[in-house]
Amino acid sequence: MIRAVIGDTWQQSKQQVVFIVMLVVMLVVLIAGIALPRAIVTADGEKRFGTILSERPINYFSQQWTDEYARTLGMGDDASRNAALRNIANDNTLSQAARGEKLRTYYSEQRRLRDEAVSRASGMPEYQRGVEYFIHVVVGGMFKVTMLLFIAACAGYFPAMLSSGAIDIVLSKPVDRLQIYLGKYLGGIVLYVAAIVAFNTLLFVGIGMRTGIYHFRIFYSIPLLAFSAMVLYALLALVGTVSKSATLALVTGYVFYVVVDSLVSALFNFQPVFVQMGWESVATVSSVLRHVLPNFGTMNNMALASLLNAPIFEFTPFAVALAWLLGCLGLGYWVFNRRDY
């Protein structure tokens, strides 16, 4: 029964221009991602990363690999670092000179993290670093663009099912309402995840054949990228079920994914600045929001950092997002089950 509802979602998707556009965008990015990179052999016989657009090696990608790895090494310790800064700012026993010394120690630790990244990078061929970061850029760009299209594509799934006539046909079949609700939800997710898996697989093979680097960690990003889509779609399903409005679901999705998520990320990233300036209330609000609202930006960064083998997994954003996923699905089904259609 669930497979039948998923199949119905696929039939609905084929009729949606936005979903087709999303697949076309993924195909264009895939072709560009496979066609652009190439190996350039220098005069001394060293293999360097380059593209078909230039005859000279491009150092940007290998340098960005080092910078990105250095940045992501500190991501998993944001809470403790911010706590340390707050302790320094609130410690009235410290003189101004002592407080400054402690802050210098903090920033020295940040430099140590970067040195560790540089040390790690020095043990990896520059060519491989360039290829890995190029894959990081392609996968990250694909996901950011297609998630915006995914919101537009799936915002109307539940309102369309609940429209007059359509819901009567669905409920006339011997299918449990839980199966109907989960089937419609899984239908949208399965289609998007299948597209991501196909994209990453073809990119893995294509870039491997082009560069000789088969980067298996490209598959590590799929679970977290899929999870972000699952959380967002659960929210859209709830809004679509309650309001029966595809427009409201669409606006809600964009507000959460673009506006709210950007605001929460910005507040959290500037926490150290707020602490040093003595704005404890703002720093507290940013911490509370991070433990209340799903942070798609952080989860996406964790997924993409896995491409670089950066150990940055944080449990808090995942737990908050999981609570939203289960809460939205549970509340959406409760509304769907209690209504008399």
User: Could you read off the pLDDT tens digit of each residue along the chain, which spans 341 residues?
Assistant: 556 656 666 565 555 678 888 889 999 999 999 999 998 888 787 888 989 888 888 888 888 887 777 766 654 445 555 666 667 766 777 777 777 777 777 777 766 766 666 666 667 788 988 999 999 999 999 998 999 998 988 888 888 877 755 565 565 666 788 888 888 888 888 888 999 999 999 999 999 999 999 999 899 889 888 999 999 999 999 999 999 898 999 999 999 888 888 887 777 666 666 666 666 676 677 777 777 888 888 888 888 888 887 666 678 888 899 999 999 999 999 999 888 76
Has residue 108 been placed in a domain? no
| Cβ-defined contacts of 329-336 (< 8 Å, 24+) | 329/185, 329/234, 329/237, 329/238, 331/238, 332/158, 332/181, 332/234, 332/237, 332/238, 332/241, 332/242, 333/177, 333/178, 333/181, 333/182, 335/238, 335/241, 335/242, 336/162, 336/177, 336/180, 336/181, 336/241
pTM of the complete model beyond 0.75? yes
* Residue listed under structure tokens 């549970």: 330
Angle at 72 between CA 71 and CA 75, to 5 degrees: 100
Residue range of the domain that includes 146: 2-37+125-338
Q: Which of 157, 131, 321 is nearest to 218 (CA)?
A: 131
Please tell me the total count of domains within the chain: 1
Residue 65 domain flag:
no
Half-sphere exposure of residue 123: CA atoms within 13 angstroms, side-chain side? 5
Q: Does a structural domain hold residue 197?
A: yes
Domain membership flag for residue 311: yes
For residue 81, being part of any structural domain is answered with no
Does a structural domain hold residue 173? yes
H or E stretch at 76: none
Decide if 144 is inside a domain: yes
Q: Is residue 234 part of a domain?
A: yes
